[in-house]
Structure 1
C-alpha cells in the first residue's frame, strides 16, 4: 500500500517561450507534511557539501540553492541569508550569478533556512539562471533545462537534489525525473541517520551504457554530459511519441475483460475498462481516459493525480504500474517486488537503468517512483544536518 505521498514534482516540466529555459516555481507535495511527533525542526539547518568526484577540484564546483518561501522565489547566499530573486540580480550578460563557491579544500558547510527548492551543482562552469517577470508581475527565476539544446546552460555539467525544509522537518531526495548527470547522495541526520542516492561502483557509466544499449532510448544520451529522461526526450523529438502504445492497448484490452484492483490508504478501488475509459468504484469514483505515451512518462495528462488523498493515489499507482510495466501482468496493484519491474521489452528502460545503478535500488526515475517506496527519498521530523556528497564518476 502507499503509506504517503512524497512525490517531489519535476521542477521543470514545461519550457516557456524565449531562449528555451524552464520558468518554474519549485514545489513539493511533501511541503505540508505534519509532524506527528510534535517535535519541530530547528531553523538554520547545517548543509555540508562534499566533493568526492575525484575529477573536479573544489574551485571548479559551484552550488546554487534556489526555491520558494511563502510564495516568493528566493535564493540562499553563501552566508545563509535568504534573499528574494530580483531583476536587478541579472548582470551585464543578462544572467544572475547566484553561485556559492566551495571551500578551497575539504568540506563546505552552509546554512539552510526554511524553504522548498533545489540544490544545484555545476562542475567546470557556472550555470546561467535568469531573473524574469512572471505572469503576475513578480520576479521569478528561469532554471536550467538540460534537455533543451538552446538552453544557455546546456553544455554545462550539472544536476540537483530537491528538498522541502520547514517546521515539520526535512523532506528531500535525489532526482532523475528530468535527467541524470552528476552522481550524488544525500545523508540526513536527526532522529535517524539515513542516506540515499548512492551509486554502485561505476554506476554513472552503467546508466549511460544501459540507456545507450536500447535503440529507442539511445538518443537520450547527450555526450558524456547527461542522460535526458524520456518524457523530455519525447518533447525534444528524441523519443518516439507512441513508444508505450502497444502496452497501453494491451492493458486496456486486459481490463476490459477482468477487474483491476488498486489499494491505497483510502481503501481498495475496483476498475474496469469500457471503451476508452478505465473507471473505478470504491472509496471514491475515479475515471481515467486511455493515456498517451507522454502521459505515462510524465505521469500527467490522463494520469494526472490531484493531491486529494483519494483519487490521486489511484492515478499514482497507475502511473507507476505503466512505467514499471507490471500493469498487464498483475491485476492487484501496486506491485511491491522489484524483481517484477521492467521485465517487458517495452518498458521505461531509463528508470530501469537508474534503479539498477543505485546501491539501495531506489531512485526517482519518474514522477510516481515513490509508489511502494522505491524513490530515493528520505525525511526526518527532527533533523540536525544534511549532507550532499558529490560522489565518484567512476
Structure 2
C-alpha cells in the first residue's frame, strides 16, 4: 500500500518553510510519480471529484476548496475548471498571498475535474486560506502551506482541514488525516472496481474528540477553543505538550528487551532484537539498530525512528513507532500487534490518536504517521477509479 510517512515530513516542512513536497510512494517501492500536466495548462487525464457539504454549520457560500500538490516535477494547483497549473510567484496578490480558492456550487453537490497529481484537498470554512508562493532552495516556485498548529500562521483563525491523495496511471490512493491536527470532519468515498469509504465519524464524534483529548492528562492544551485539536508532536514543539511525556514508557520498553527477545515481522521476514549498550539491535533479513527514541521521535515517527523505503530499516522502524504510539511494545514481544483491543491501554499513551480511532465508524484514522502499520489508517485505494467524493460530514 501507499504510505504517508515521507509525506508527513515534506508537508510539515512545506507549511513551515515553503519547501516542496511529494506524496510518498508505495511502502515497499520507490515513490510514485504522478503524470505531468500538459505544458499549456490544459486539463490532464482526470476523474470527477464531488464535494458534498453536509457540515450542517456552514452554507456552500462559506466553504472553499483548494487542490494543491505536485505533478512529479513541480508544485501545482488546480483551477475551478480542472486545469493543472504550476505555482507561480506572480500568483501572489496585493496582500502577498495567492487566491487558489475554488468556491462550491450555490447548492447541492459541487463536481470538479481532478487531474493526475499528488497532493491535498483543503477545505476552508467561514473564510479563505492564505497560501503564499515563495522560492524554494532550488529556485523553484513553492507554496507555504497552512500550519494550523502555529499561532502566528496567517491561517490560524480559519477553520480548515484536508484529505490527501495520489492519482496516477496506477490508480487512486487517498486518505483522511489527523497526523497534524483535527478540525473538520471529512469522509472519502472512492468508486471504481468497488465502492469504498473511510474517515466517516460517528454521530457527535467531533465534540467527543475535543472532550476526550481535553480530559487526557497532559493533552488538554492541545484543544484550541472549538477550532481544532493539535497533534501532540506539534504541541510539543509549541510548548503545549511535555517533551518527556512518553519517556517512562519508552524506558520500560527498552528495559524489557535487555533480557528477552523482541520479534518484528515485516514483508522481508522476521527480525530478532535485543537491547544492549542502550541500542535495540536486530538480526534477520538485515542488521538494523535503533538508539532509544525521544518522545518527539515517537510522536513524529522521525529521528531515531525515521523509516526509509529500504525494505529493512524502514519497516522495522515503522512497526516500532506504531507500537510505541499504541503502547504495546513493552507488553507484546511479537510485533506488529494486530488486535486493536490491545492499543492505548496504558496511562502513558498517544491519547490523541486513541480519540481519533474511537471516533470513526470503521475504527480507522491517521492519528500518527505510522498508523498504516497493520492496516489501521483511514486509507483506501483503487486501481480502476471512476470518481471520488469528499464529504464534509456533520459537526
TM-score (norm 2): 0.94
**Aligned counterparts, 1:73-112, within 5 A:** 73-112=75-114
Post-superposition shift, 1:180? Answer: 0.3
Task: Give the aligned partner of residue 27 of structure 1.
Answer: 23
Structure 1: stretches of 5+ with no match in the other structure: 35-41
**Aligned counterparts, 1:344-355, within 5 A:** 344-355=346-357
User: Match of 1:250, SS?
Assistant: helix
Task: Give the aligned partner of residue 363 of structure 2.
Answer: 361
- Paired residues, number: 380
Post-superposition shift, 1:309? Answer: 1.7
Is residue 159 from structure 1 mapped to residue 155 from structure 2 by the alignment?
no
Give CA-to-partner distance per residue, 1:224-275, whole Å, 9 cap, x none: 0000000000001100000010011001100011000000110000000002
Is residue 222 from structure 1 mapped to residue 224 from structure 2 by the alignment?
yes
Structure number with the bigger relative contact order (C-alpha 8 A, sep ≥ 6) is 1
Distance 2:11 2:240 in 1: 18
TM-score (norm 1): 0.94
Give CA-to-partner distance per residue, 1:364-393, whole Å, 9 cap, x none: 000000000000000000000000000000
User: Match of 2:265, SS?
Assistant: strand
Task: Give the aligned partner of residue 12 of structure 1.
Answer: 11
User: Match of 1:238, SS?
Assistant: coil
Give CA-to-partner distance per residue, 1:265-306, whole Å, 9 cap, x none: 100000000022100000011111110000000010000001
Give CA-to-partner distance per residue, 1:189-232, whole Å, 9 cap, x none: 10010000000000100100000001300000011000000000
Give CA-to-partner distance per residue, 1:107-152, whole Å, 9 cap, x none: 0000111100000000000000000000111100000000100000
Distance 1:98 1:26 in 2: 19
Distance 1:150 1:32 in 2: 33
User: Match of 2:11, SS?
Assistant: coil
Structure 2: stretches of 5+ with no match in the other structure: 34-43
Distance 1:69 1:379 in 2: 19
Post-superposition shift, 1:24? Answer: 4.1
2:129–2:146 Cα contact (<8 Å) kept: yes
Task: Give the aligned partner of residue 146 of structure 2.
Answer: 144
Task: Give the aligned partner of residue 128 of structure 1.
Answer: 130
Post-superposition shift, 1:14? Answer: 3.7
Post-superposition shift, 1:308? Answer: 1.1
2:22–2:72 Cα contact (<8 Å) kept: no
Distance 1:134 1:23 in 2: 5
1:23–1:143 Cα contact (<8 Å) kept: no
Task: Give the aligned partner of residue 394 of structure 2.
Answer: 392
Task: Give the aligned partner of residue 171 of structure 2.
Answer: 169
1:28–1:163 Cα contact (<8 Å) kept: no
Task: Give the aligned partner of residue 208 of structure 2.
Answer: 206
1:21–1:144 Cα contact (<8 Å) kept: no
2:192–2:385 Cα contact (<8 Å) kept: yes
